[in-house]
Amino acid sequence: MVELWRNKNLKENIREISPALVILLITLFVSTFITEFTFTFGLTAIWKTIFRFVRLSLVLILPLFLLPQLCAFAQGFFNRGNNKLVRLPADRDTDLHSLKNWVIRPFQGIGLSMLLATKLLAFLQLYEKTAVSIETILPPGQFNFGRFITATGIAIIVSILLSFLWTLDDLGVRYYNKKSGEVRMIGKYMGLILPIFFGFYGILSLFDEYERLLASLYISQMVIVLYPPFVVFSVLHNRYLKSTEDKLVAKLNAVEEVNLAGSNKTAESTA
């Protein structure tokens, strides 16, 4: 992981994660000197905010090192029968883009996290046959092991899923059907806009309608908490991909095809 930071100088590191640092600094200032913000206040907000940022970032980043094994497993699922993974060099894009890496992908992560949390809370609501209150969703005043494990599990699932889909997208890997000649994108980043919408709406819908304004405020603070770690995750995924590109392509067993008969039939998948 350290090598992902060392491959560029300090100025470049700061520039690439600058949106995360700006939001983090604003959060620290407001929660320390002005008012309770992102569920902390006072001098304790300094270490709590930094620790939370580091913890969430690590949970999201560490699963990146499982990508080679994940690609090796996935290729057996995709490369069978008339179907196979192919690589279109024209679609390859491993560069860092501000819109993609600072806006779209972080909010994909936030929305998908909220979507999974919504499903879990809905299950608990059905299982316990009681309404989910704000207290169930907001961070507690003290450490709760069960909540910690649940939040960590959701973050790991989101990290594994998104890192795999982002890898296929950035490397120009597509799903090709020999019989129909159709080439499909697997998880193109714009295809995950719906999970973002349903994630935010799902969390909001769990609250009583008379609490919507307050709930919206709390959800906004959750977004502020999650945004910096997901920016770091997005940037480091980009770096990791560049350093292991050849290895990942080999694991995917994606054959390079430049003249596919059905390339004009490319369709976008929301996988």
Model confidence over 5-54: pLDDT tens digits? 666 677 888 899 999 999 999 999 888 888 777 777 778 888 888 998 99
Strand arrangement of the beta sheet that strand 255-256 belongs to? 255-256, 83-87, 173-177, 182-185, 267-268
Residue 151 C-beta-side C-alpha neighbours within 13 Å: 19
pTM of the model: 0.84
If one counts every other C-beta atom within 10 angstroms of the C-beta of residue 41, the result is: 16
Segments making up each domain of the chain, as ranges: 2-268
**Mean pLDDT within 218-232:** 90
Between 2 and 35, residue with greater pLDDT: 35
Say if strands 255-256 and 83-87 run parallel, antiparallel, or are unpaired: parallel
204: left (phi > 0), else alpha (psi -120 to 50), else beta? alpha
Check residue 62 and report its DSSP letter.
G
Q: Using one digit for the tens of pLDDT, what is the confidence trace for 120-160?
A: 777 766 666 665 555 556 565 566 677 788 888 889 999 99
pLDDT the model gives residue 264? 45
Q: Which residues contact 62 (CB under 8 A, 6 or more apart)?
A: 1, 159
Report the DSSP beta bridge partners of residue 267.
Answer: 184
State yes or no: pLDDT of 189 exceeds 60: no
Tell me: pLDDT of 268 over 50.
no
